[in-house]
Structures are given as structure tokens and as C-alpha cells.
Amino acid sequence: QPPTHALVRHPGPNAAEGLTDVHEPADPEAIAAEHAASVTALRDAGLEVIELPADPDRPDGYFVEDVAVCLGPELVVLTNPGAPERRGEVDAVAEALPHPTKLRLTDVGGPDATLDGGDVLIAADRVLVGLSRRTNIAGARALAGILARHHPAWPVSIIRIQGVLHLKTGLTEVTPGTVLRAAAMRPPADVFALAGLDEVLVDDVNHANVVPLGEVTLVPEGARAAARIAGRRTRVIEVPLTHIGRMDGGLTCLSLRW
């Protein structure tokens, strides 16, 4: 089921002060403009969008995808982000989500379980959970346990990822059964994780992160392979992401969708 709703949080004046491995400086006003373009694109795609105000104390707060995993309109899993400086982002998003059932990852996996939503790819026929610098085994297992209970038909693979921040930085599903993988992200050692999927390799590490929304696909501006493949089946909206990319963010990170 394509999503009908999304939640976003505005970037604040401190939006360029969050965590990043990229050495080029980002401009907070440019971040705000790119973020606004992403919200317009979500609305243009027909989604109803909840907008939260910026949090002046949390520069990475607009990367809402990392603090929750929406499993449809009924159930959401509130995460325990791997970066301690991001843990304070969870509660405001949790309160704003209308889902009737809200589970805490740490209630299932214990206080040491960490997981960023950016490490969870829900594809057409499977769920991939990345073990990254942010998501540990206890966190991945806790999410897999929740999925086994609430969505027993979804096969789950836990895969170690290297070369990118989050699983979805380097791997997203562009159309059902076709994934884009950034060459910078090494292929998963678990050979079954991507079995049966068509994989398209992209050279630019910022061009593998797309948001499929049923009849519309959001892709980063200039991501030609993504636009071409998505364009065969859906309308494509390109979103500029230069400055958000410098904060290690992609399109998926900017919203929660259900």
C-alpha cells in the first residue's frame, strides 16, 4: 500500500551543525529551501503532511526518519538512535504520530539496543535491516522480533553494511523488485538478502536514495538512473539535495511515511 501520510520536522537555524562525515560546509538557509522543496514534493504526490516546528536544541532533528519506523497506519516503532546526541529527538515525533500503537525498541531489545530508521528498508516483498555504525545487533534483532510478531509474512534479512552511513543511503527500492545501490556501499555479504531483486549500480553515492510513493517517485535532483527507471512507471519529482547531502542526509531521511 503506498503511503497516504507523512510527518516532517523543519530544519532550524542550527541545521548545518549536526553530525556529518562530509567536509564541505552546508548553508542552513539552503538546507531550509531544499527541505521546503521536499515537503512540496510530498504534497504534490498527494500525501497529507504533518509539519513539526524546528527543535532549536537538536540540529539533526529534521532527519525524522531515524527516530521511528512506521509499519503502516496502526503501528510505529520508536527507535533508540545510535548517536547519543540524537536520542532527544524521539519524543516530540512520537507524540505527533497518530498511530494507535507505539512500541519502544528498547522495551523489546533492552537499553543497549540501538537502531536508526535509515537502516530499515521495507521493500515490496521483504524487509532489510542494516547493521551500521548506528544500528547494533540488539537493535536489529529487536525490530526483527517486532516484525515477526506483527507482520509474520514479511521476510527479514539483517545485513552488515559498509561504506555509507545508513543502509538506505546506499540502497533503496525504486520500483517493485528493482533496487538502486550506490557503488560506495559494498554488496551485502548475505547473498540471499538481495536475491530475486534487480540491482542497478549508481556511481554517485547521493543518487541511490529515492522515495517511491505509488504513482509518484521522489528522486534527488540529477539522479539520472533513478529518474529513468522510476519514469517508466510513475511520475518523477526531482528534489534538490546538495546541502542536505553535506549533512549526510538523503531524501528518505526527511520524512516518515505511512
- Give the footprint of ligand CIR on this chain (CB under 6 A): 18-20, 60, 63, 65-66, 83, 86, 118, 165-166, 168-169, 247-250, 252-253
Nearest-angstrom CA–CA distance, 201 and 104? 35
We find the least distance from the C-beta atom of residue 17 to ligand CIR, in angstroms, to be: 10
Question: What is the number of other CB atoms lying within 10 angstroms of the CB of residue 39?
Answer: 18
Shortest Cβ 153–ligand CIR spacing (Å): 26
- When the beta carbons of 161 and 194 are compared against ligand CIR, the nearer one is 161
CB of 108 to ligand CIR, least distance (A): 21
Looking at beta carbons only, is 55 or 66 nearer to ligand CIR? 66
Characterize the bridge pairing of strands 256-257 and 5-9: antiparallel
Q: Which is nearer to ligand CIR, 96 or 233 (CB)?
A: 96
CB atoms within 10 A of CB 74: 11
Q: Which is nearer to ligand CIR, 83 or 233 (CB)?
A: 83
Contacts of 195 (CB under 8 A, 6+ apart): none
Element (H or E) spanning 76, and its range?
A: strand 75-78
Interatomic CA distance for residues 241 and 5, integer angstroms: 22
Least separation in angstroms between CB 248 and ligand CIR? 4
When the beta carbons of 119 and 216 are compared against ligand CIR, the nearer one is 119
Residue 232 CB, nearest distance to ligand CIR (Å)?
26
The CA distances from residue 188 to 56, 138, 151, 205, in Å, are 38, 19, 24, 16
Which residue is at the shortest CB distance from ligand CIR?
118
